[in-house]
Structure 1
Amino acid sequence: MIQLSHLSADLVAPRAADLSGLLAAGAHLARAAAGWVMVVSVDADWRARALHRELQVRDVPVEFGGSGGVLQLRTAPTAAVDRLAEHWAGGRMLPDGFVPGPGALRCWTLAAGRPDRPGFRLGLDPAAPQLHIGLAAACAELGLAASLLGGSATDPALRIVGRRRLDRLADLVGTPPPGCPPGEFPGSPSSR
Structure 2
Amino acid sequence: MTDQLMLFASEGAEPTIDDLDGLMFGPGHVVRRAGMARLSVLVDDVWRAEALLGEFESRNLRGEFAPSREDSGKLVVRTDFNDSLVSLATRWAAGGKARQGAKLSGAALRLWVIAAGRAGDEAFLLPLPPTDQDRWQISGAALAARGLRATMVGPRGGGPAYRITSHKRLAKLALLVGEPPSGAPPYSWP
Compute the TM-score of the two structures, normalised by the length of structure 2. Answer: 0.88
> 1:155 offset after TM fit, Å?
2.5
Q: How much does 1:118 deviate?
A: 1.3
Q: Deviations over 1:108-133 (max 9, x none)?
A: 11111110111101000011111111
Determine the structure 2 residue equivalent to 1:112: 116
Residue 63 (structure 1) aligns with: 64
Partner of 1:6, secondary structure, is helix
What is the one-letter code of the residue matched to 2:87?
R
Checking the alignment, whether the CA contact within 8 Å between 1:42 and 1:111 is kept in structure 2 is yes
Q: Would the aligned equivalents of 2:21 and 2:102 in 1 still touch at CA under 8 Å?
A: no
Distance (Å, rounded) in 1 between the aligned partners of 2:163 and 2:169:
11
- Look up the match of 1:190: none
Give distance in 1, aligned partners of 2:155 and 2:96. Answer: 17
Partner residue in 1 for 2:126 = 122
Partner residue, 1:156: 160
**Which residues in structure 2 correspond to 1:150-189 (within 5 Å)?**
150=154, 155-186=159-190
Q: Distance in 2 between matches of 1:153 and 1:94?
A: 30
List per-residue Cα deviations over 1:17-38 (Å, max 9, x = no partner).
Answer: 0001111111111223351111
In 1, Cα distance between the equivalents of 2:111 and 2:126?
A: 11
Amino acid at match of 1:13: E
Alignment correspondent of 1:22: 23
Task: Tell me how far 1:80 sits from its aligned partner.
Answer: 2.7
Unmatched tracts of structure 1, length 5 or more: 187-192
Give the aligned residue type for 2:61: V
Taking structure 1 as the reference length, what is the TM-score of the superposition?
0.87
Q: Any conservation in 1 of the 2:100–2:138 contact (CA below 8 Å)?
A: no
Check 1:153–1:117 CA distance in 2 against 1; reply closer, same or farther (3 A cut): closer
Report the counterpart of residue 10 of structure 1 in structure 2: 11
Consecutive unaligned residues in structure 2, runs of 5 or more? none
Q: Is contact 1:40-1:72 (8 Å) kept?
A: yes
CA contact (8 A) 1:23 1:91 kept: no
Q: Which residue of 2 aligns with 1:98?
A: 102
CA distance in 2 between partners of 1:141 and 1:108 (Å) = 16
Alignment correspondent of 1:79: 83
CA RMSD in angstroms, aligned pairs only: 2.3
One-letter identity of the residue aligned with 1:120: F
Q: Deviations over 1:126-150 (max 9, x none)?
A: 1111111121111111110000110
**Segment of structure 1 superposing worse, 149-158 or 77-86:** 149-158
The structure with more helix, counted as a fraction of residues: 2
Deviates most, 61-70 or 80-89: 61-70
Percent identity over the alignment is 36
1:63-121 alpha-carbon deviations (Å, 9 max, x no partner): 11115421111211223311101112258656233330011000011111110111101
Aligned length: 184
Runs ≥4 in structure 1, deviation > 4 angstroms? 90-94, 151-154
